[in-house]
Amino acid sequence: MIKFWRCYVCNDIHYGVKPPEICPTCAVKNAYVLISAREAKTICGAPAEADFSKDDFLTAIQKFTEDNEFMVNPDRAKVDLLFDGIFNNERNHGLKYCPCRLMCKELEEDLKIVCPCNFQIHETYKGLDKGECWCGLFIKRPKTSEVNP
């Protein structure tokens, strides 16, 4: 079962079945202790409530895609519309839910539609040359030969 863990040295929070052996933030070994969801929420909530703008999110997902086979869709109008939805959903429903799906009000299921989601298993992406996530925010990076023929 997935649980919350806290590094006793730097308060890094990990959400998973088991904690990392080495804390990725402070590099201390065997530093994680099991905590409650309430504790995790409090620790993550306080500093994380600072502004996180659409530009910050764009920068974050661009960084996220850098070493992956996918990229942020270059269609800026589409990205802007999706960002409106993602940020409205966070404000109205608590998390950055995909505007092209709907919460079913079961947290475990709903976490699967938080952007970026695990879209590489989607039928719109997996095994396709020009795959994209369900909403189209992420697209498979064109092969070099397609970019520079």
Least distance to other proteins from the beta carbon of 149, Å? 28
Closer CB to other proteins, residue 25 or residue 73? Answer: 73
Least distance to other proteins from the beta carbon of 123, Å? 6
- The full length of the chain comes to 149
Task: Catalog residues that contact other proteins under the rule CB under 8 A.
Answer: 78, 81-82, 84-86, 88-89, 92-93, 99-105, 109, 112-113, 122-123, 134-136
Least distance to other proteins from the beta carbon of 137, Å? 9
Least distance to other proteins from the beta carbon of 56, Å? 19
Shortest CA distance to 47 belongs to which of 91, 14, 75, 11? Answer: 11
Closer CB to other proteins, residue 23 or residue 135? Answer: 135
Closer CB to other proteins, residue 4 or residue 83? Answer: 83
Q: How far apart are CA 40 and CA 36, in angstroms?
A: 6
Closer CB to other proteins, residue 35 or residue 100? Answer: 100
Q: Give first-to-last CA distance, the chain, whole Å.
A: 49
> Coil, strand, or helix at residue 34?
strand
- Reading the block at residue 42, the tokens are 């409090």
Beta-sheet pairing, 70-72 with 138-140: antiparallel
